[in-house]
Structure 1
Amino acid sequence: MHWEQYWNSTDGFSSFAELKNEFGYPKEILHFWQKTLSEISSENLKVLDLATGKGALAIWLKAAANSQNKLVDIYACDAADIDVSSIKSNDVKLEKIIKDINFSFATNLEQLPYEDDCFDLLVSQFGFEYSSWESSLKEVTRVLKPGGQAVFMMHSASSQIALNSAAGLSVFKSLVELELFEKLKTLVDLKLTNQQLEFTNKNKQLIKSLNEFSLDNNSLQWFQDVVSNVARIMQNINSESHTAIDKLQTNVEFQIKRLEEQTRVSMTENSIRSAFDEASLELKIKSINPMSVDEEHFAWTVVIE
């Protein structure tokens, strides 16, 4: 599973690595989950974070509960087989919170290892939609207490995330079709064997091909991220260059799989309702609302009761 590769190779709590804060989420998302928790009046809450990844949402909820003086037991599960010892923080308070969370990895949402009617609140941040709804919604119904609530934040087909993902997918697939990594390895071999003339000619051809890419604002950053790594490798060609190219290629292949999945699970409001209706459960959708970040449509928030 490529998500295992990702989570076990990153130090961050979430996949929003470009945001330079401990949790990785925009402030609007953090406020949404804090508000969700504050609106539940029950004491001694038991909460389950579905598809937790490395626990960003679970950790934030526990921190929010502590700030609200709420007694909350946080459970968190994910299908990926993540090394729990890799979930850590240099912040003493956060490290204590991490140790208080009941993590369960290699745990499919379609077959949860929890007793019936045991959680007051189920949450998921860009995770539940990757599961098989026919089975996972039945598990949601089974483990949720009567009167409990499930609150999911889901990828939207019309969000800026979806548009950026489609652009990134196009860029990465085009680079693969260009045979970028094979051509880079050829250039490395030519350089290391002192075939300077052929190196220069092939290098010019590759640069020309890259310059011919048609890029808009959504695809430019994806392209620049790869090309900047290529530039660093080619500026100092040595015996380790092949390994560096392999690493870059592996990362691009992972990104293609991730973005393909993310595109597949990005939904419209109607598709969410249809998928839920097909499960024919006692639980019903209370609301589906758009979530905005920086005044742009970011996701759907779905409340189930």
Structure 2
Amino acid sequence: MKHWTNYWQTSGALNSFAEGSSAVGYSGDVKEFWFKLFSQLPEDSRIVDLGTGNGALALLAQLYSDKKSFDWTVVGIDAAKIDPFGIKTLNEEKQKSFKKIEFVGSTFIESMEFPDDSISAFISQFGFEYSETEKSLNKVHKSLRPKGKLCLVMHTDDSEIVIESKTGMKINETILSSALFSLARQLFTEEQEFLNNDNPSRGEWFKSEIFLTFNKGLRLIVESFLKRFNSKLEKVWVEDVVSAFADIMKKSGDYSPETAIEWINNLEENLSFHNLRLKDQVKASFTKDEKELFIKNAVKLNFKVDYSEDFLVEHQNAGWALVLTKN
């Protein structure tokens, strides 16, 4: 869970694996999908966002409630130690709505405690499937009001997101298992010893045989990554890491070797955490058989299936959208 806590507390993003404008909330097809579902809920709804992260979906619900002048109570829970109110990138409208949401961290979906028949809707986008789904489904059913809804968007093994994540895992694991980071640390350790010996200049270090040898080794490792991973998708993943590594090497000459080692350690740790999140995502994704079994279990609990379709974002399969109603 440390790799998720680290992400939520340091990324500044509302949702997982967010880039660009998506880091400050959902829009476009995603917003349209959820607003359509929200329109089916009562004006006095109590809504719980499962696996809320930093609150992207909870915020969307609260914004809808405020727009309609409804009296919704929105709660977001997550297994990680979250601190959504540390996000400083929201505009004034979003900040106003955001402050109305109750966030509860360190809370697993399968062990959450809400009174029986107390919740109008449980919602989740890429959160529910990370839990023990059978136990979570039972918890949800118990806490939902009659005619209450469970609205889910979940990862599937055939979605574009998961397919891309599998590529990212392959590349991250190759880089993490290589000598790149250990060799870089050795380089800066050697530099530290070199500079401590009779106080030579940085210029002499960059001309030294030790530096040239290590630098050549690092360059060969990086070139091997770029040569091996040369498809369009692979390049996106590998160039992201290579560019961050190159940036450290470029600016290291203006800082102490100790500082450069710290940067290398942070890059390696962040890459490792990212890879663990990708692994969690791939592991959590539903196969076709698992989808059928999940629906079967839901029907046994007396849920009615309102909607079960591929979740399309910009005409691409982004996962599975499922809406259940408690009979």
What TM-score bracket applies, with the shorter chain setting the length?
over 0.9
Q: Which residue of 2 aligns with 1:223?
A: 238
Query: Which structure has more helix as a fraction of its residues?
Result: 2
Aligned counterparts of 1:244 and 1:217: Cα–Cα separation in 2: 28
Shift in alpha-carbon separation, 1:6–1:22, aligned structure 2, 3 A: closer
Q: Which has the larger radius of gyration?
A: 2
List runs of 5+ in structure 2 lacking aligned partners.
195-204
Q: Which residue of 1 aligns with 2:162?
A: 162
Q: Which residue of 1 aligns with 2:45?
A: 45
Shift in alpha-carbon separation, 1:260–1:300, aligned structure 2, 3 A: same
Query: 1:70-89, aligned counterparts within 5 Å?
Result: 70-88=70-88
3-state secondary structure, aligned to 1:35: helix
Shift in alpha-carbon separation, 1:262–1:63, aligned structure 2, 3 A: same
Please provide the CA RMSD for this pair: 1.9
User: Does the Cα contact within 8 Å between 1:55 and 1:76 map onto a contact in 2?
Assistant: yes
Aligned counterparts of 1:147 and 1:26: Cα–Cα separation in 2: 28
Query: 1:1-305, aligned counterparts within 5 Å?
Result: 1=1, 2-21=3-22, 23-40=24-41, 42-88=42-88, 90-192=90-192, 193=194, 194=205, 196-213=208-225, 214-215=228-229, 216-237=231-252, 238-239=255-256, 240-278=259-297, 280-305=300-325
Shift in alpha-carbon separation, 1:97–1:128, aligned structure 2, 3 A: same
Deviation of 1:87 after TM superposition, in Å, equals 4.2
Q: Which residue of 1 aligns with 2:197?
A: none
User: Does the Cα contact within 8 Å between 1:65 and 1:72 map onto a contact in 2?
Assistant: yes
Query: How many matched pairs?
Result: 304
Aligned counterparts of 1:82 and 1:15: Cα–Cα separation in 2: 12
3-state secondary structure, aligned to 1:103: strand
Shift in alpha-carbon separation, 1:65–1:85, aligned structure 2, 3 A: closer
3-state secondary structure, aligned to 2:273: helix
What does the per-residue CA deviation read over 1:210-255, in whole Å, with 9 as the maximum and x for residues that have no partner? 2223222222111111111111111122321001001101101101
The percent identity for this pair of structures is 30
What does the per-residue CA deviation read over 1:140-162, in whole Å, with 9 as the maximum and x for residues that have no partner? 11111111111100012111111
Shift in alpha-carbon separation, 1:170–1:105, aligned structure 2, 3 A: same
Aligned counterparts of 1:223 and 1:26: Cα–Cα separation in 2: 28
Aligned counterparts of 1:37 and 1:208: Cα–Cα separation in 2: 54
List runs of 5+ in structure 1 lacking aligned partners.
none
What does the per-residue CA deviation read over 1:149-192, in whole Å, with 9 as the maximum and x for residues that have no partner? 11100012111111110111011100112121101111223344
What does the per-residue CA deviation read over 1:56-86, in whole Å, with 9 as the maximum and x for residues that have no partner? 1001111122223333211111111223542
Aligned counterparts of 1:43 and 1:57: Cα–Cα separation in 2: 18
User: Does the Cα contact within 8 Å between 1:128 and 1:152 map onto a contact in 2?
Assistant: yes
- Which moves more between the two structures, 277-286 or 174-183? 277-286
3-state secondary structure, aligned to 1:100: coil
Aligned counterparts of 1:126 and 1:37: Cα–Cα separation in 2: 18
- Which moves more between the two structures, 10-19 or 245-254? 10-19
What does the per-residue CA deviation read over 1:96-145, in whole Å, with 9 as the maximum and x for residues that have no partner? 21221122211111111211111111100100000001211111111111
